[in-house]
Amino acid sequence: MAESGTRPDEPERFRRQGSVSSKQDLIQWENASVETCTILSWLGYGQEIIQARRDAYREHGKLMTGKENGTLTYMFTGSKGEGLSSFLESDVDKLIVNNRVFCLEDDVKSSAFPGEITVLRSLSRRSYHGHCRLLLERLGTTIHRHVHDAFCDDGYGRELLSSDLFVNNWSNERLAEGMVQHERAGPSIPSTMSGHMHSDHVHALHYYCPNILSKWAARPRHWPPPEAVQRVVSLGAFLTPVGFKGSEYQHVEWRVCFNAGEIELISNLNDTQTKLYVLLKMIKNDVLHPRKKEVSSYTLKNIVLWMAENNPQASFHKKSILQWLHEALDALRVALITLELPYYMIPERNLMATSGLDREQQRTWISTITDMLNEGPKMILRLPKIRKALIAHPEPFRWYNGRRIELELLMLMYMNRAVICRDENGKIDYTDAILQALQRRIDEVLTDVGVRMRMEGTRVINADAIFDRILM
């Protein structure tokens, strides 16, 4: 059942069902919803800071791309690219796209691409939905060695690009000073810099697939608006080096992804929908505690995208966020029971097909979510960040969060300025006046926070400890 795809009517589950039984209940839900939205803004999930993060990481990607002479495009994806995590709150997901290779759908002509471009043809027959193999159609005049060394014979005299070989080739690159590389995780190469900066690098290829995107764009919908739909289509797709788990072609299969388009979609969610996604991620991290990404942020993002598409935008407002959280958790519960969740961009692909969820964990999560649904608006108290904010004194709570947001904005500016001041050998010119001004203000903020913490009786070790504590 898990690999059978999805029923045509499955997105119906993401339409609002209604969960409030009386006027008194409605008032309770609405008051708790408004308070939750306010707390989330104080915690760093307001529209302004989210947009600042998005802009900073988009600019960071452009600056890094500019140093590659057009051969590679850098893109920050995941919660960083979406603007939904603070500076040290989660891993940095980086997509690195080879601009000298293009992959094409079956009926797209390759003649429009210049001779230096290597052209690959996707072969999706006998592959699971949203996956394909890549046949070499034309070798370009300039080809990266990691691509060239990843070709293998398909047994019929044709050359296939192996996803396994491709990742392994990139895994053998020389590491930067202070970087530790970890075991491969699907298509990504995880690493840690300076002991605490965690990142996942995924090397990907451009995929020109107008048929897939036009089918997505043609769906009837409440959201996103037509202009946003066209932007998503124009951003195209990518192929990441990972096959469908259990497939006989797994080592040579690639997965279709829409990273740039999904960032555009997330940026088109309204404030309530964005905060709904944040709450779901908190529940995943602080309540469900998945061990091996059996339920991931990506799973939750798809639930939110389906809900946004299938319901009027006006129904998502600050008084309704906890009712929508109730609906989203119910949708997650159904996905866990049935082991079916359609991928928002390609509904035929079931995101639960390879979740690796065992029976005991499945029962535990279904029971936990059922208990949360029965708790009504009190379910929000299961989240430590929300609970601590509710019992904290308002003035110090707002003061600390104000310093945290300022520190994060300073670090985002410092991050991008450091790229500008970096030479071809990767060395940063720390004598730059702007870098020095940013560093002075960062030090001032950390000093202010340290002084206040000591006055309140908190044991503070040093500025580094404050930095880690405030930006996690």
What digits encode the pLDDT tens for the residues 39-59? 999 999 999 999 999 999 999
The answer to whether 345 touches 259, Cβ cutoff 8 Å, is: no
Residues 401 and 376 in one domain: no
Q: Is residue 136 situated within a structural domain?
A: yes
What CATH number is given to the structural domain containing 343? Answer: 1.10.1410.40
In this prediction, residue 472 has a pLDDT band, given cuts at 50, 70 and 90, of confident
Largest pairwise CA distance in the chain: 75
Q: What is the pLDDT of residue 9?
A: 46
Dump pLDDT digits (tens) for 143-171.
Answer: 999 999 999 998 888 999 999 999 999 98
pLDDT of residue 264 exceeding 50, the answer is yes
Q: Which of 240, 267, 294 is the last residue of a domain?
A: 267
pLDDT of residue 13 exceeding 70, the answer is no
Q: What is the pLDDT of residue 163?
A: 97
Average confidence (pLDDT) over 88-110: 90
The answer to whether 55 touches 47, Cβ cutoff 8 Å, is: no
Alpha-carbon torsion, ordered 104, 106, 109, 110, to 10 deg: 40
Among residues 36, 40, 99, the alpha carbon closest in space to that of 323 is found at: 36
What CATH number is given to the structural domain containing 84? Answer: 3.30.460
Q: Is residue 154 situated within a structural domain?
A: yes
Residues 94 and 202 in one domain: yes
Residues 297 and 425 in one domain: no
Continuous segment of H or E residues that includes residue 74 = strand 72-77
Q: What is the pLDDT of residue 393?
A: 77
Task: Map 133-172 to HEC letters.
Answer: EEEEEECCCCCCHHHHCCEEECCCCCEEECHHHHHHHHHC
Residues 160 and 228 in one domain: yes
Q: What is the pLDDT of residue 93?
A: 94
Average confidence (pLDDT) over 226-238: 98
Among residues 97, 101, 136, 95, the alpha carbon closest in space to that of 118 is found at: 101
Q: Is residue 64 situated within a structural domain?
A: no
In this prediction, residue 7 has a pLDDT band, given cuts at 50, 70 and 90, of very low
In this prediction, residue 6 has a pLDDT band, given cuts at 50, 70 and 90, of very low
Among residues 151, 171, 154, the alpha carbon closest in space to that of 162 is found at: 151
Over pLDDT 70: what percentage of the chain? 95
Q: Which domain holds residue 430?
A: 392-471
Q: Is residue 180 situated within a structural domain?
A: yes
Among residues 118, 109, 113, the alpha carbon closest in space to that of 141 is found at: 118
What are the two backbone dihedrals, phi and then psi, of residue 136, each rounded to the nearest 5 degrees? -70, 125
pLDDT of residue 33 exceeding 50, the answer is yes
Q: Report the domain count for the chain.
A: 3
Q: What is the pLDDT of residue 396?
A: 85
Residues 163 and 307 in one domain: no
Residues 330 and 251 in one domain: no
Q: Is residue 102 situated within a structural domain?
A: yes
**How high is the mean pLDDT of the chain?**
91
Q: Is residue 257 situated within a structural domain?
A: yes
Q: Which of 234, 267, 300 is the last residue of a domain?
A: 267
DSSP character for 350? B
Residues 174 and 246 in one domain: yes
3-state SS assignment for residue 333: helix
Residues 146 and 10 in one domain: no
Report d(CA 266, CA 245) in Å as an integer: 28
Residues 376 and 422 in one domain: no
Residues 457 and 380 in one domain: no
Residues 376 and 276 in one domain: yes
Q: What is the pLDDT of residue 2?
A: 38
Dump pLDDT digits (tens) for 411-450.
Answer: 999 999 999 999 888 889 999 999 999 999 999 999 999 8
Please say whether the dihedral angle defined by the alpha carbons of residues 249, 349, 118 and 203, taken in this order, is positive or negative: negative
Q: What is the pLDDT of residue 19?
A: 58
3-state SS assignment for residue 188: strand
Average confidence (pLDDT) over 319-348: 97
Average confidence (pLDDT) over 238-266: 95
pLDDT of residue 461 exceeding 80, the answer is no
Q: Is residue 5 situated within a structural domain?
A: yes
Q: Which of 267, 296, 313 is the last residue of a domain?
A: 267
Q: Is residue 98 situated within a structural domain?
A: yes
DSSP letters, 270-313, are -HHHHHHHHHHHHHIIIII--SSSSS-HHHHHHHHHHHHHHS-G
State the helix-helix crossing angle for 297-310 and 271-283, rounded to 10 degrees: 150
In this prediction, residue 5 has a pLDDT band, given cuts at 50, 70 and 90, of very low
Dump pLDDT digits (tens) for 170-226.
Answer: 988 887 777 888 888 889 998 888 777 788 999 999 999 999 999 999 999 999 999
Residues 434 and 461 in one domain: yes
In this prediction, residue 34 has a pLDDT band, given cuts at 50, 70 and 90, of very high
